[in-house]
Amino acid sequence: MIYHHDIDLARTTDALAIAELTRDATESGLAWRWTTRRVMHSIHDADTNVVVARQGIGVAGFGIMQYGQEEAHLALLAVRGAQRRHGLGSALLGWLEASACVAGCKLLRLEVRITNPGAMAFYRQRGFEEAGVAVGYYEGVEDAVRMLKRLSAPDAA
């Protein structure tokens, strides 16, 4: 089991492992867009957190979250096949949600492939709600389900 203290910000040396996991776990059937160079840019971007969970000597899972003024966008979350269903994805998401709250974000948003009901169920179980479909979101060939989660109660009027 992975705990929050086992999750840390990614290092430059993690970029290749993150890019390869992205290609294999989330971009299958699509062009490889989250290349090592793009991941490296995210690691160095002040408005983005790239976090990893390490097991042994390798990256077992990671998340990439981009921060705006009042909302955060979970760009990617992936866990290696052998490490799935052991709480790693939940721990990564929890770490990123806590960071978004500290940053003052009130809303967390993400997109998930419409052909990935397992991922949609994962996010629903963690408080996300479906907020529409983005037609052709993935390279014009696959739709995405947009999901949202409020991180704080709306201000009282």
- pLDDT tens for residues 53-67? 987 768 889 999 999
| The 3-state secondary structure of 48-98, one letter per residue | EEEEEEEECCEEEEEEEEEECCCEEEEEEEEECHHHCCCCHHHHHHHHHHH
DSSP 4: G
The CA-atom distances, in angstroms, between 41 and each of 45, 75, 97 are: 6, 14, 21
Segments in the chain below pLDDT 70: 1-5, 57, 153-157
Which pLDDT value is given to residue 54? Answer: 85
pTM of the model: 0.88
